[in-house]
Amino acid sequence: MPLIKCENVSLAYENVCVVRNLNFSLEQGDYLCIIGENGSGKSTLLKALVGLKSVKSGRIIYNGLKKTEIGYLPQQTQVQRDFPASVREVVLSGCIASAHPFYGKAARKTADENIDLLGLSELQNRCYRELSGGQQQRVLLARALCATKKLLVLDEPVNCLDPVAAAEMYEHIRDINKNREITVIMVTHDVEKSLDDATHVLHMHGENPFFADKQHYLECDDCKHFLGEVHHCDGNH
């Protein structure tokens, strides 16, 4: 039985349909890379998956998973980057479910485990806003992990990171997916590096999204055309 499934899902952004009749399903431990042009509905889809946005039509089915049990790492705003809290406080805040506003021993243990997993132990008493971009993203990934044991939803987790910090972030996500068998759904513009670890690809383009396992996607014309455009754009910078 799939962990999460979209059935004929259509989504709108500012009353304009950006996704129509989307169908896909993921099992525990899958790694989905969502790619596509700006404005194709990628972030809108993630918000729908975590319950922050309603679908226009169709349905999203969760099996053995509550929306409050999804770890979500959205794109950061400047206000969030300047948040005046310690690293440990930020990570611990991921343990809050709507019905449990206080931190018990189990929550603190979970936070400590994820702080250690992401290599943040020496930074845990530092102020979050004093950290580098890569360190902040690791803090937010640890925070997202506190909310879930099954599904991580990541929106451009390496955006604005230098190559070294981006490589470290991908390595952490890869290890979480493989060692904890946590399903990963990730939006990215860093297509080729993301495809290294993905098991499935969802290509958002127009109103006709294309979903396939990675091997089938790499063999299709959509992939060859899209990767060709990526190479062309990279060559122009």
User: All domains of the chain, ordered by start, with CATH?
Assistant: 1-65+150-237 (3.40.50.300), 78-149 (no CATH)
Give the Cα separation of 178 and 51 in Å (integer): 26
pLDDT in 10s for each residue of the chain, 237 residues: 899 999 999 999 888 888 889 999 999 999 999 998 888 889 999 999 999 999 999 999 999 888 888 999 998 776 577 878 999 999 999 987 544 556 788 889 999 999 999 999 999 999 999 999 999 999 999 999 999 999 999 999 998 899 999 999 999 999 999 999 999 999 988 887 888 899 999 998 866 788 999 999 888 876 666 666 544 444 444
Residue 226's pLDDT is: 65
Which residues make beta-bridge pairs with 86? 127
Which residues are within 8 A (CB) of 32 and not within 5 positions of it... i.e. 6 or more apart? Answer: 24, 26, 183, 184, 185, 186, 198, 199, 200, 201, 202
d(CA 109, CA 88) in angstroms, rounded, equals 11
Could you give the C-alpha distances from 81 to 44, 143, 144, 206, in angstroms and in order?
22, 14, 16, 32
Rounded Cα gap, residues 51 and 151, in angstroms: 13
State pTM to two decimals. 0.90
Long-range residue pairs from 62-67, CB within 8 A, at least 24 positions apart, any chain: 62/3, 62/4, 63/1, 63/2, 63/3, 63/4, 63/5, 64/3, 64/150, 65/3, 65/4, 65/150, 65/151
pLDDT value at residue 58: 96
The pLDDT, as a whole number, for residue 103 is 72
Helix residue ranges per DSSP H, 10-54 = 42-49
Q: How far apart are CA 169 and CA 19, in angstroms?
A: 29
Give per-residue pLDDT as tens, 73-127.
998 776 577 878 999 999 999 987 544 556 788 889 999 999 999 999 999 999 9
